[in-house]
Amino acid sequence: MLFNFDNRLYSKNVNLICGVDEAGRGPLAGPVVAAAVVLPKGIRLEGLRDSKLLTEKRRSFFFDEITNIALKWATGLVGPKIVDDINILNATLLAMKEAVTKLEGSFDLILVDGRDEVPVNMVQQSIIKGDTLSAHIAAASVLAKVTRDRIMIDYHKKYPQYNFIRNKGYGTNEHKAALLDHGPTPIHRRTFSGVKEVSFG
């Protein structure tokens, strides 16, 4: 289904499609990460789905598959300080712009998950729940999710009391309890509900 959707978009004017998606809009800590990926026309990755519907093991498998076969791919990252300064929507669009502009060469169409377009002057189409419809967007969702998860696993080594290795910065009960006990770290989003209520000492 995913590849059928993308294949219907190919035409005389569309030979290369770039899929764009993000990970990390909702967490209380860590960056928002976007990915942009251009897959070869006609390629199929059996079992590829929206990253949220895959296990961690399958996401890692597809991360390797996608990065090996993609014509080009890149990620963009916006940290928590900028998220607080410009809000999460603008930070997400900035991360998407960074990912897209890192790609060398050109492509014919950008497919973006969600309602908003990437702030670049290129032909694009935003698609609600695009990660369940487009293979390119699903691939981008995997790249963004795995990249962000690996960043949070690294942060776990520095801040083990928050158990980022498990919650990846999302507002689980365990994470919120750790915030009450230890206060926010430099990677927490201080404008987010669940963090801003915590005493900063």
- CA 197 – CA 120 distance, rounded (Å): 36
SS3 state of residue 195: coil
Residue of 173, 153, 133 lying closest to 3 (CA atoms): 133
Band of pLDDT at residue 199, cut at 50, 70 and 90: low
* Residue-level pLDDT at 13: 84
pTM for this one? 0.95
Q: What is the mean pLDDT of the chain?
A: 94
Is pLDDT of 174 > 80? yes
> Rounded mean pLDDT of 86-101?
98
* Residue-level pLDDT at 200: 52
Q: Residues 28-64: pLDDT tens digits?
A: 999 999 999 999 998 889 899 888 889 999 999 999 9
Is pLDDT of 24 > 70? yes
- 201's CB contacts (< 8 A; 6+ apart) are 183
- CA 15 – CA 179 distance, rounded (Å): 49
* Residue-level pLDDT at 105: 77
Show the domains of the chain with their CATH numbers.
Answer: 2-151 (3.30.420.10)
User: How many other C-beta atoms can be found within 10 angstroms of the C-beta atom of residue 167?
Assistant: 20
